[in-house]
Amino acid sequence: MIMPNQKIAPPSDDKRWKVVETTIRRNGSSSGALIETLHSVQEWFGYLDDEALTYVAQRLMVPLSKVYGVATFYHFFTLKPGGKHTCVVCNGTACYIKGAKKLIDSMADKYGVKPGETSKDGELSVLTARCLGSCGLAPAVVIDGDVKGNIESDELIDVLEGVINHDA
Ligand code: FES
C-alpha cells in the first residue's frame, strides 16, 4: 500500500524522468494528471512500457488497471511493443492462481504471440503486468482500454476476434 507522502523512485537514473517529475509536480499527483503525465513520458521516451506505467500508477496513486486503460484507449499513446490492438494480461499472484497462464497460452496458440511481442500481422501486442490493482476480478486483462475480469481463454479469444475483425 503506497502512502501519500511516500517517496517513489523513478525506474532509472535517466535524466528524462526529472522532466516527467516536473510535469507531475506542475499538475499535482492526482488521477486528473494521468493523461498529462503519460504524454510527458511518451514525449521523452517515445513509448510507454511496463516499468513506466507502473511508476506512473504508483506515483499518482491510481490503480495500474486505470493507467493501462488510459494508455491503451487513446490512440496517441504508444505502448511498447506497438500492435494495432493491445491485450495486457495481469500476471500478479491472484490472476496467476486463477489462470492467467492459460490466457497467455491461448493467445500464443491462436496468434503466435507471446508477452512482449506483437503478432506478425501487426494486429495484436500482448503485454503482462504485475498486478492491475483489480484482484477481485482475477484473472483480469485490459484490451484496448477495457478491463475484463473473470475471463476464460475461450471468451478472451472471442473478444479479441471481435476487436481484430471489427476493423478488418
Ligand atoms: S493480481 Fe491481477 S489484478 Fe491483482
Q: Is 145 left (phi over 0), alpha (psi -120 to 50) or beta?
A: left
Q: Do 106 and 162 reside in the same domain of the chain?
A: yes
pLDDT digits (tens, 9 = 90+) for 140-158: 998 887 889 999 999 999 9
Same domain, yes or no, for 121 and 159? yes
CA distances from 73 to 64, 79, 115, 119 (A): 14, 11, 19, 19
pLDDT of residue 168: 58
Residue 93 sits in the same domain as residue 161 = yes
Residue keyed to cell 502512502: 3
The CB of 134 under 6 Å from ligand 1? The reply is yes
In a domain, 5, yes or no: no
Mutate to test the pocket of ligand 1, among 50, 88, 95, 148 (most ligand atoms within 8 A of CB): 95
Q: Is the pLDDT of residue 57 over 80?
A: yes
Is residue 2 situated within a structural domain?
A: no
129 touches ligand 1 (CB under 6 Å): no
Give the pLDDT confidence score for residue 81 in this predicted structure. Answer: 64
Question: Would residue 4 count as lying in a domain?
Answer: no
Residue 69 has a pLDDT of 92
pLDDT at 47 over 60: yes
The tens digit of pLDDT for each residue in 120-139 reads: 999 998 988 878 878 999 99
Q: pTM for this structure?
A: 0.65
Cα 11 to middle of ligand 1, angstroms: 21
pLDDT > 70: percent of the chain: 92
What is the total count of domains within the chain? Answer: 2
Structural domain boundaries, residue 24: 16-73
Q: How far is CA 3 from CA 40, 77, 138, in A?
A: 24, 28, 24
